[in-house]
């Protein structure tokens, strides 16, 4: 039996060993960070240290970081600030943004998945009510990086607030929240080697924040509930390591590009989505014409290779990708898998993917698409 390989980092990344160690220490401690005694003070100190580490990941100040129970809550909390404003959200937002804003006006993307800045400008100019713009920094399915600084510039010129879901971008590209110019920014620990169920909303000083969860005065009244101390500690360590490891992660782009070139050489009919746009270094979204994404995921899983079909669904069922549909992928949207690498990925993992995918094509795709079987 060959060792299974994991190429699904955009779903969740393996915990980094130093994160596990720091969390084990934190879990062994007793103390509610709101308590005034020494136990509480120790927990408070651990949380505040993590706040500094997470703030540094995006060039923010510690007081701007509000810890949440993940990226979904951070996005929901940001969208809860829209008040009566009309929400304009890109067509490729994660469901934790799009579903948190019913009736949002959709800002279209082009064939590469990049938000249409002209359309954004036109939609904002038409809107008489105050507006609230949500555009993610990098897409979870394609890795396409949006021109968020330009989005913020346009939106602010129209008096709109801007939220940016940076859940997938964090740890994969350098982020400077001030340079992006956004009002709120969402992060999630488990995408960068930290624990699941912990995230943060980073709030610019100019933006007010109304809490969504009510109760105690934790997080300076911005998010009630006893803090997940060990999780937050793990998030802090993961954030610090992500800053240190950013060069190594950017090096994945070379391996990813070679992998895509090999796949396309073997299967000229293959399509790589967003390949002409700026992309995260670790992500590839590639369609094998004529073969359902689910079939590819299951066959690759049997070969010991873990990838996703478009967006991973909580129900375990794969539905057509709204991201690829918005990019005009048509039927190919149902044939696309996402390969996403990370801190523990090795060149041999990409080799295995190429072997597995091309032999799958030889078995299923070449025949269905009516082409000659390619060399593996
Ligand atoms: N935003 C994006 C772009 C994501 O990819 C995800 C998770 O897949 C989330 C938000 C939600 O984050 P979490 O899993 O921490 O709730």
> Ligand 1: distance of its center to the CA of 318 in Å?
16
Query: What is the per-residue pLDDT for 334?
Result: 93
Whole-number Å distance, alpha carbon 375 to ligand 1 midpoint, is 37
Q: Give the whole-angstrom CA distance, residue 229 versus residue 235.
A: 10
Specify the 3-state DSSP secondary structure of 33. coil
The finding on whether 194 has its CB within 6 A of some atom of ligand 1 is: no
Judge whether residue 373 has pLDDT over 90: no
Position 119 confidence tier, pLDDT thresholds 50, 70, 90: very high
**Distance of CA 187 from the midpoint of ligand 1 (Å):** 8
Confidence (pLDDT) at 251: 97
- For residues 4-27, give the mean pLDDT: 98
Q: Quick check: CB of 358 below 6 Å from ligand 1?
A: no
Cβ–ligand 1 contact at 16 (below 6 Å): no
Closest-lying ligand 1 atom to the alpha carbon of residue 12: 8
pLDDT score, position 368 = 64
Confidence of residue 128 (pLDDT cuts 50, 70, 90): confident
pLDDT tens column, 286-299 = 999 999 999 999 99
Kindly tell me if the per-residue pLDDT of 76 is higher than 80: yes
- Choose one of 9, 137, 168 to mutate for the ligand 1 pocket test, by most ligand atoms within 8 angstroms of C-beta: 168
pLDDT at residue 318 in the model: 58
Tens digit of each residue's pLDDT (9 = 90 or more) over 87-96: 999 999 999 9
> Per mean pLDDT, which range of 98-102, 165-169, 192-196, 256-260 is the poorest?
98-102
What is the pLDDT, as a whole number, of residue 52? 98
167 CB less than 6 Å from ligand 1? yes
Alpha helices in the chain (DSSP H): 17-28, 38-57, 71-79, 95-98, 117-126, 148-157, 177-180, 229-244, 246-250, 252-266, 293-302, 322-326, 347-360, 366-368
Query: How does pLDDT run across 191-229, given as a tens digit for each residue?
Result: 999 999 999 999 999 999 999 999 999 999 999 999 999
Q: Which residues are catalytic?
A: 313
Nearest Cα to 338, choosing from 296, 301, 309? Answer: 309
Query: What is the tens place of the pLDDT at every residue in 321-370?
Result: 999 999 999 999 999 999 999 999 999 999 999 999 999 999 987 766 54
Q: What is the dihedral of CA 366, 368, 371, 376, to 10 degrees?
A: 0
DSSP string over 49-107: HHHHHHHHHTT--GGGEEEESSHHHHHHHHHGGGTTPEEEEETT--HHHHTTSTTPEEE
The residue contributing the CA closest to ligand 1 atom 9 is: 71
Q: What is the mean pLDDT of the chain?
A: 94
Q: Which of 147, 140, 375, 108 is nearest to 268 (CA)?
A: 375
94 Cβ below 6 A of ligand 1 = yes
Answer positive or negative: Cα dihedral of 156, 157, 158, 159: positive
**23-33 pLDDT tens trace:** 999 999 999 99
Q: Is the pLDDT of residue 374 over 50?
A: no
User: Looking at ligand 1, which atom is closest to the CA of residue 311?
Assistant: 8
Q: Is 90 in the pocket of ligand 1 (CB under 6 A)?
A: no
Give the mutation target among 12, 70, 95, 96 for probing the ligand 1 site: most ligand atoms within 8 A of CB. Answer: 96
Q: What does the pLDDT read at residue 376?
A: 33
- Ligand 1 pocket, 195 CB below 6 A? no
Task: Tell how far the Cα of 348 is from the centroid of ligand 1, in angstroms.
Answer: 28
The rounded distance, in Å, linking the Cα atoms of 77 and 100 is: 9
Q: How far is the CA of 95 from the centre of ligand 1 (A)?
A: 8
Ligand 1 center–CA 320 separation, angstroms: 18
């Amino acid at each position: 039996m060959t060792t299974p390989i994991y190429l699904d980092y955009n779903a969740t990344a393996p915990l980094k060993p130093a994160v596990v160690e720091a969390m084990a220490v934190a879990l062994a401690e007793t103390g509610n960070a709101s308590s005034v005694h020494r136990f509480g003070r120790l927990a408070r100190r651990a949380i505040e240290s993590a706040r500094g580490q997470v703030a540094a990941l995006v060039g923010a100040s510690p007081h701007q970081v509000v810890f949440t129970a993940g990226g979904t809550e951070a996005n929901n909390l940001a969208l809860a600030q829209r008040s009566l404003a009309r929400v304009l959200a890109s067509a490729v937002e994660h469901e934790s943004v799009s579903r948190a804003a019913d009736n949002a006006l959709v800002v279209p993307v082009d064939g590469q998945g990049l938000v249409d800045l002209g359309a954004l400008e036109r939609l904002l100019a038409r809107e008489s009510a105050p507006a609230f713009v949500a555009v993610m920094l990098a897409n979870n399915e394609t890795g396409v990086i949006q021109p968020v600084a330009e989005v913020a510039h346009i939106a602010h010129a129209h008096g709109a607030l801007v939220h940016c879901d940076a859940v997938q971008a964090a740890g994969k590209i350098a982020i400077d929240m001030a340079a992006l110019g956004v009002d709120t920014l969402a992060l999630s620990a488990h995408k960068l080697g930290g624990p699941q169920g912990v995230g943060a909303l980073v709030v610019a000083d100019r933006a007010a924040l109304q809490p969504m969860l009510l109760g105690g005065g934790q997080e300076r009244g911005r998010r009630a509930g006893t803090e997940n101390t060990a999780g937050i500690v793990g998030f802090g360590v993961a954030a610090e390591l992500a800053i240190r490891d950013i060069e190594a992660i950017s090096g994945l782009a070379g391996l990813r590009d070679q992998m895509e070139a090999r796949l396309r050489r073997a299967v000229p009919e293959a399509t790589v989505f967003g390949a002409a746009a700026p992309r995260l270094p670790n992500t590839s979204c590639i369609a094998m014409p004529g073969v359902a994404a689910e079939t590819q995921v299951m066959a690759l899983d049997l070969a010991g290779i873990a990838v996703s079909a478009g967006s991973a669904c909580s129900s375990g069922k794969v539905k057509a990708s709204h991201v690829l549909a918005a990019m005009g992928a048509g039927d190919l949207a149902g044939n696309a898998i996402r390969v996403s690498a990370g801190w523990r990925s090795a060149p041999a993992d990409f080799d295995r993917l190429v072997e597995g995918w091309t032999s799958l094509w030889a078995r299923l795709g070449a025949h269905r698409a009516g082409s000659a079987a390619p060399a593996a």
